[in-house]
Structure 1
Amino acid sequence: MSAEPLVSAPPGWRGELQLTLTRPDSSPAGRTVVAARRHLGPLNIQRAFYPEAEVAHIYLLHPPGGVVGGDELYIDVEVQAGAHALITTPASGKLYRSAGRQARLQQVLRVASGATLEWLPQETIVYSGAQAQMSTRVELHSGSRFIGWEMLCLGRPACHETFTRGHLLQRFELWRDNQPIWVERSRFEGGAHSLTADWGMRHKPLAATLVATVNDAALVERIRETAMPAADYELDADAYFSVTQLDEVLVCRYLGTQAQQAQVCLGRAWAEIRRCLLGREPCAPRIWNT
């Protein structure tokens, strides 16, 4: 499946990016390389970086910095057999408030047999008044491996702005050999009771989810011990972190107030998963330190 543009959408910025990543026999040190790239509008990438030999670290670039009503962004990534890519963003994404038109972000990530994709974008800030749809569909083949996360910040807590109006529709799906293995669909309504209720977000604007295609009981326990130790980080006393094993998918969740804290917690979980699933020590993208 590829990301199909919607021809009837209202006018606005439209960006498309299609990437094909492969590991050719002729590649130095077995590196994963960008075999094909097609882009339209403001979406693009920098050249691949190689801080850990054959793994390609790739930064998605969107110079406008955010999207407004009527904007559409389509990302299609194919990781071919044997390739290994880590994809991130240099800064947070932003969904700005809209006068009525809807913004759309659609991402399709296809991972072939024997390939590995680490999908680690920085957080998306949803301004009060935004009207948007976000969809991420990961299509995995037998023997492929995936670690990915999404972080959402509803409103701008640093500016004392809460998410009082607008809406966000979010989908995050993992499919293996055309069968769903994890599907999450959420609707966030500005000012809704679910944002403050104990059964909902409990007044916490930052919600983050990490998923990985691994099933290991010992790994679950290590993540519970290391991802959010209160003695090791100045934590929001009311932040929440959980780890759940759902068949072949491991799910980590953070609910709190700080994007930095969410990235630290999920980053620790990612490090443990990377060691277990990929046999690699964590190698954080350099852009995270700038």
Structure 2
Amino acid sequence: MLDQTTSPNMQRAKGRAHLGFVARAGKTTLMDLHQSGCVKAMLPRNHAPVMDGVLINTAGGVTGGDQLQYSATLGDDTTLCLTTQTAERIYQSSSGHGTIKTDFSVGANATFDWIPQETILFNQSALKRNMTVTMDASSSVMLMESIVLGRRAMGETLNSCFLSDQWRVMRSGKMAYADALRISDPNALNTPATLGGNRAFTTLVYIAPDAEARRNQMQQMLNFDDVKTGVSAWNGCLVTRFIARDAQPLRKALIATLTQFRNAPLPRVWHM
């Protein structure tokens, strides 16, 4: 007979993917691949000068207790654009929080773009996410995260959720960029001093020897009727913020901006 006083052990998703690359004869070559659990990695063929990598969470989303780990190591003179297959959905948590840990190591004269598709927070979701990057002073790194507080078109409303998002970037052994985001009351983001009723926002960071010199180029690209933007540049970092009423106008703005700024097409999964 079942003990009615005992709570069932809920099945949780765990997964890890690691990719390692080196440069051989002027081309970026995969040297190390590990994938386990619900996380898979793919390297689809493309016709761009930059190799694309795609991370897939086969669990279909993240809820309390789930644990995902992504990591990549880029050797000297390598290039990689890494993204996710689709938006990451953070579902209602019955207990605890989901975790996503991301670690990247970027060698000398390497170029790395981490441009995942958006993270969608559902009501009563809970997520802790940490990203750590170590890079050489000669390398170029682009980092992006987009957050959507429920999908307006689906009638979703967030009354409660929790998000902790921590970024740390070390450049030649010194802290180059740090960002800390914490959301525990989505209703508090409706004021004019915060999101002002908008539901979607993005942080885009470009860290490279030419980052500050490209500030004007970035500003000239940001001409959108339905997306608010802001640009700052300092200490070898170019930081751009996007705020939109919903996910769709934000996505359109990001596709245009990333394609122009990178001077390369986005991975095909961005257009599916």
Q: Give the corresponding residue for 2:206.
A: 212
Provide the rounded CA distance (Å) in 1 between the counterparts of 2:212 and 2:235.
11
Cross-structure match for 1:137: 132
What's the % identity of the aligned pairs? 21
Identify the residue that residue 265 of structure 2 maps to in structure 1. 283
Structure (1 or 2) with the greater strand fraction? 2
Matched, 1:175 2:170: yes
Q: Which runs of 5+ in 1 are unaligned?
A: 1-9, 275-280
Contact kept? 1:222, 1:272, Cα under 8 Å: no
Q: How do residues 181-260 of structure 1 correspond to structure 2 at under 5 angstroms?
A: 181-193=176-188, 195-214=189-208, 215=210, 219-230=214-225, 235=226, 239-260=227-248
Deviation at 1:263, TM superposition (A): 2.7
Shift of 1:200: 1.3
Give the stretch that moved more between structures: 169-178 or 263-272: 263-272
1:65 aligns with 2:60: yes
Is contact 2:211-2:237 (8 Å) kept? no
Correspondences of 1:1-290 after superposition (within 5 Å): 12-25=12-25, 30-53=26-49, 55-193=50-188, 195-214=189-208, 215=210, 219-230=214-225, 235=226, 239-274=227-262, 281-290=263-272
Residues 154-200 of structure 1: CA deviation (Å, up to 9, x unaligned): 1222222222112111112221022111111011113442x111111
**CA distance in structure 2 between the partners assigned to 1:260 and 1:31 by the alignment:** 35
TM-score by length of 1: 0.84
How high is the TM-score relative to the length of structure 2? 0.89
Amino acid of the structure 2 residue aligned with 1:80: G
Q: Could you tell me how far apart the structure 2 residues matched to 1:38 and 1:160 are?
A: 39
Instruction: Give unpaired runs (5+ residues) of structure 2.
Output: 1-9
| 1:6 aligned partner | none
State the Cα RMSD in Å.
1.9
Instruction: Report how far residue 245 of structure 1 moved.
Output: 0.8
CA distance in structure 2 between the partners assigned to 1:121 and 1:209 by the alignment = 12
* Post-superposition CA distance 1:18-43 (Å, at most 9, x none): 11012223xxxx33122111111011
Which deviates more, 60-69 or 220-229?
220-229
The one-character-per-residue Cα deviations of 1:123-170 (angstroms, maximum 9, x if unpaired) are 010111011101111111121111121000112222222221121111
